[in-house]
Chain A
Amino acid sequence: MNRLQKSAWFNIVVVTVAFPICSACVFLLARTNAKGIDYLIIFLVFGSLTGLGGYLLLRKKGFEAHFDEREKMIYNRALVWAMIALLAFLCCVCIIPFFVLGGGNSVRVLYLPVICLSTLLVGQLVHSAAVLIQCSLEAEDEQ
């Protein structure tokens, strides 16, 4: 298993297991109005923003820099699929409720971060899956 596949598996685990569990925990704590939940949410928001900013700034120096040219090609091809999935998901989330609920309704601000985060997670999931599929198809050809 090369670095590309390892990073894809890591992302899939984070997206499909760790993130939903953490989100459910935070949701339950918020629901029960646990002590210190406000501070935890503030910390999570700032932590996410700094983490995302740091990732975007430093990613060229990170694991992507160690990919070779073929891996970068696979990575970029998967990125195209991820962008398509991301846009399709965003369109579905925004347009379907518009037609189902009617044009007079508006999306509550509360749901916007959820929509945004879900879109990012779907994009990440499709990206990782596309990377793994391409790698496995190449592995099949080798046999």
Chain B
Amino acid sequence: MSNNRITNQIRRLRFDNGEMTQQQLADKVGVTRQTIIAIEAGKYAPSLPLAFRIARVFGVGVEEVFQYEDEDSQA
């Protein structure tokens, strides 16, 4: 079984967008700050609608925010 991992650029994008706080991002996408923390740390993979909402807040595509990595593709 391959080891899949979803990484993200939320922290960088937050700082690029006027040093947006986790709470501000959470309010904009309609989740709690804990959820943003978990997503940023890679502990929780968001649903597609939430991923799109996050990307829309930063005005970028989903793939610019989230990257899918698996061992097979890296080998």
Contacts and interface: CB of A to CB of B under 8 A. Distances in A.
A68 B34 CA distance: 10
A68 B43 contact: no
B37 interface: yes
B34 A2 contact: yes
- Contact size range, B: 10 to 19
Nearest to B32: A2
B60 interface: no
A4 to B, nearest CB: 8
B57 interface: no
B35 A142 contact: no
Contacts of A69: 31, 35, 46-47, 50
Interface in A57-74: 68-71, 73
B38 interface: yes
B38 A71 contact: no
A118 to B, nearest CB: 33
Given A69-B31, A70-B31, A71-B32, A138 B38 contact: yes
Nearest to A4: B32
Contacts of B46: 69-70
A69 B34 CA distance: 11
A71 B37 CA distance: 13
A2 B32 CA distance: 8
A59 B50 CA distance: 23
A3 B37 CA distance: 16
A18 B11 CA distance: 44
Interface of A: 2-3, 68-71, 73, 135, 138-139, 141-142
